[in-house]
Structure 1
Amino acid sequence: MNKKNLICFLLLILIVGVYYSYQKDDDVSNSPSNANQSEMPIYQSDDMVTNIYDLSGNLVYKIESGKVKHFDTNNNTDFDLPNVTLYAQDHAATWNIKAKRATLTNDKLIYLYQDVTLTNLMPDSQLQQVITDNAEVDLTTQIVTSKDPVKIRGIGFFSTGVGLVGNLREKTANILENVKTFYNSEAQ
């Protein structure tokens, strides 16, 4: 090979190397990093309704949401504007739960964030509504807990305080601290 062909050949290799180097850089900049990829949902949906049934085919709960994202790394599902309806074994809707955001874990715990409202759908129940900032509901046992300020409304009473432990199946709610209760009051 003469000197001129050798220079052309080396120049061609340099050009191809630079071209592939820029292509690789573009691919890296256009694709998310591995750290970001773990934070990306494996699926997402708008205006989704999810019905969960027991082994007998009875509806246990329904979750409606404006936006849903499911993450494979922790197996959690995030909801924007969740609207959860719980059902009794007789197929009657018993509770409606709303919040601005929620996270459902693999072990059926739903963490509710911002403006949480639990409304009893059974008209003859003493306990009618629970309002708090954040709460956790075990969808299997229907135990609800909160560490935040709480308001409870019922037939003929209104209570406020801090912290909550309740059982939605049994229609009970206990405020843990600083309890103030007003009877026969329409106070909000």
Structure 2
Amino acid sequence: MNKKSIIYILLIIFIVAIYYYQREEASSDVVETIDLSTQPLYQSDRMETTIYDPLGNLSYKIIANKVQYFEDTGNTLFQSPDITLYNHDIARTWHILANDATLTRDKLLYLNNNVILQNELPDSQLKKIITEHAKVNLKTQVVTSEDAVTIEGTNFTSTGIGLLGNLRSKTADILENVKTYYNTPNIQADSPTN
């Protein structure tokens, strides 16, 4: 082999090495894309939201320790939601607590874990609803649950499975295995009724 051939071979090896080096460099510059559909569009700690009806009347307030909004689903997730519903006279009607909740685009509120719906109106016979999971339609204020439910009222407590109620009309029906205990001032012991 002569000198010219060796120089050509070394030159070819050098060009190939530069080509592969630049190719490696270019592939390492590629930025990975992140799937934003599973990420919240916004999130906040300790947030208060006030919602008004189309006539400008206060409808409800939600306070939560953490809020995340997902644009692709339209769902808003709340940690430790504290919700207050109002009537047309702007009087507090219901105070709702849960460990977490999801509000959908169509105003369905899914409450999870340690759900308490406390009636704020003093003249109502229905005082409190307790369950693990409940769904509240914030437009109609219809509440449902498929779990064990306890309803507390003036001089009575009812337990059972499943719930269908209307917070606006202050009614609630337990659907299965209903047991009601009445407490009267003259009787000390609870008397169960089926």
Q: Structure 1 residue 14: deviation in Å?
A: 1.5
Name the SS of the counterpart of 1:184 in structure 2: strand
Q: Distance in 2 between matches of 1:138 and 1:105?
A: 10
CA RMSD, aligned part only?
1.8
2:90 match = 91
Matches within 5 A, 1:1-188: 3=8, 4-24=10-30, 27-28=31-32, 31-32=33-34, 34=35, 37-184=36-183
Taking structure 1 as the reference length, the TM-score comes to 0.90
Which of these two proteins has the greater Rg computed from alpha carbons? 2
Q: 2-side partners of 1:82 and 1:20: how far apart?
A: 49
Task: Give the Å deviation of 1:124.
Answer: 1.4
1 CA distance for matches of 2:47 and 2:26?
Answer: 43
Give the aligned partner of residue 4 of structure 2: none
Identity among equivalent positions (%) equals 49
Which has the higher mean CA deviation after the structures are superposed, 102-111 or 55-64?
Answer: 55-64
Amino acid at match of 1:136: K
Cα distance in structure 2, aligned partners of 1:20 and 1:140: 55
Deviation readout 1:7-28 (Å, 9 max, x if unpaired): 433322221111111232xx32
Secondary structure, aligned partner of 1:148? strand
Q: Which amino acid aligns with 2:133?
A: N
Aligned residues: 180
Question: Helix, strand or coil for the counterpart of 1:151?
Answer: strand
Structure 2: stretches of 5+ with no match in the other structure: 1-6
